[in-house]
Copies of this chain bind each other. A is one copy, B any other.
Amino acid sequence: MAFSERITRLKSSLIREILAAAQRPEVMSFAGGLPAEEMLPVLDWSQMPTGMGQYGMSEGEPALREAIAAEARLLGVPCEASQVLIVSGSQQTLDLASKLFIDPGTKVLLEAPTYLAALQAFQLFGADCVAVPQEADGPQLQALEAQLERQRPAFAYLIPTFQNPSAVRYSEAKRDAVAALLDRYQVTLIEDEPYRELVFDAGSATPIVSRLRKASWIYTGTVSKTLLPGLRVGYLIATPDLFPHLLRLKQSADLHTNRVGQWQALQWLGTEQYREHLAELRDFYRLRRDAMQAALVEHFSELAEWQVPQGGLFFWLKLKQPQDTRLLLDAALAQNVAFMPGEPFFIDPDREPGYLRLNFSHVAPERLDEGLRRLAGVVRQGLAADAA
């Protein structure tokens, strides 16, 4: 069988395999980025017009595009509804952007660590990914400038607000500095913002795209983290030089995003009901984050270092004594605990041992302590095995 060359770059997805293992009800899963089941809103479909069953436009539902543009303008993103493309979840934006920009060998600039599924999507299309180290307040600026100047990447893919996996939120100063550098080198920005609304404090987080003056950009968001991932409704907003190409690529990918999900999303966006739901969600996740922090202090203080996340869904632990956390996975699953090893979030996994990404939104608080106690035991066993 003769497959395309890109299939040699198609990796087995660790995420999918871990999530499959984590589906057993007895497993305490810190692995995924799943919303808590109990916070999924009940949907009312009674007012949906029958016509929503018909084919729709590749751009998406006009009213939904208007609502998203209005919300984005409130954030400071300068845009019109004509720049909004409804996509089948944010993952599709990565696919469309890959098609738009990436030939084998095309340079793409990422944070280190970065979102695993983005890295895999870009690499599938043959990207030569280069990275900038992440600091507590955003990317190392000197490294960023050096990479922009030397590599001239086709685009930079950044997650400035509660980054996945590191939970870093860029400071105001770094947001300004990153925008200025992208403008200077005229490098397109893809700004991925799935976690923006899951914020537990009052810190600022105006998008970087709103600070750009010259560079082209794609801003991407989703209702998956705040409403319902099962709808598969996300969006991108793009500068007018990029939009027509993305629209045609969208049409070639799946004609258009499902309209029943778009209609449902429109019932929520911008409403008082949605604001109340978001407030409840933040309160709920803040409590879960606090419970996780307490349990981590108890079980991981000797083993790891971490920052308390101010938003998003993850803790990012750095082991004090690095070991390849991928090798801990079987032992953890044998004890009915799932977690996400940190290595696959880096371009060169073998050179970055010793991180764990732990989701705090999914495991019920009453099982948290037991789950983290077991996981700490697995880490200690790994250290002992390394020492032996």
For residue A32, which residues in chain B have a CB less than 8 angstroms away from its CB?
55
For residue A257, which residues in chain B have a CB less than 8 angstroms away from its CB?
88, 232
Q: Is the beta-carbon distance between A53 and B232 smaller than 8 angstroms?
A: no
A99-136 toward B: CB 8 Å interface, digit per residue (1/0)?
11111001000000000010011001100000000000
Within 8 A of B (CB), among A84-110: 87-89, 91-92, 94-95, 99-103, 106
Q: Once bound together, how far apart are the Cα atoms of A4 and B41, in whole Å?
A: 41
Q: Is the beta-carbon distance between B45 and A50 smaller than 8 angstroms?
A: no
Q: Once bound together, how far apart are the Cα atoms of A154 and B3, in whole Å?
A: 8
Whether, in the assembled complex, A5 has its beta carbon less than 8 Å from a beta carbon of chain B, the answer is: yes
Closest chain-B Cβ to A179's Cβ sits at a distance in Å of 18
- Closest residue of chain B to A227 (Cβ to Cβ) is B53
A12-38 toward B: CB 8 Å interface, digit per residue (1/0)?
110010001000000000001011010
Contact check: which of B35, B120, B249 meets A252 at CB < 8 Å?
A: B120
Q: Once bound together, how far apart are the Cα atoms of A259 and B232, in whole Å?
A: 8
Contact check: which of B4, B42, B242 meets A99 at CB < 8 Å?
A: B4
Whether, in the assembled complex, A175 has its beta carbon less than 8 Å from a beta carbon of chain B, the answer is: no
For residue A13, which residues in chain B have a CB less than 8 angstroms away from its CB?
248, 251-252
Q: Is the beta-carbon distance between B228 and A53 smaller than 8 angstroms?
A: yes
Whether, in the assembled complex, A74 has its beta carbon less than 8 Å from a beta carbon of chain B, the answer is: no
Q: Is the beta-carbon distance between B34 and A53 smaller than 8 angstroms?
A: no
Whether, in the assembled complex, A320 has its beta carbon less than 8 Å from a beta carbon of chain B, the answer is: no
Q: Is the beta-carbon distance between A20 and B57 smaller than 8 angstroms?
A: yes
Contact check: which of B42, B56, B94, B258 meets A261 at CB < 8 Å?
A: B258
Whether, in the assembled complex, A382 has its beta carbon less than 8 Å from a beta carbon of chain B, the answer is: no
Contact check: which of B230, B252, B259 meets A259 at CB < 8 Å?
A: B230
Closest chain-B Cβ to A300's Cβ sits at a distance in Å of 27
For residue A5, which residues in chain B have a CB less than 8 angstroms away from its CB?
103
Closest chain-B Cβ to A221's Cβ sits at a distance in Å of 15
Which 3 pairs across A and B sit closest by C-beta, in order of nearness?
Answer: A53-B228, A45-B45, A230-B259
**20 A-B residue pairs with CB within 8 Å:** A1-B188, A3-B100, A3-B245, A4-B101, A4-B102, A10-B252, A37-B54, A40-B50, A41-B50, A43-B48, A45-B48, A54-B228, A55-B229, A55-B230, A88-B254, A91-B252, A91-B254, A99-B124, A258-B258, A258-B260
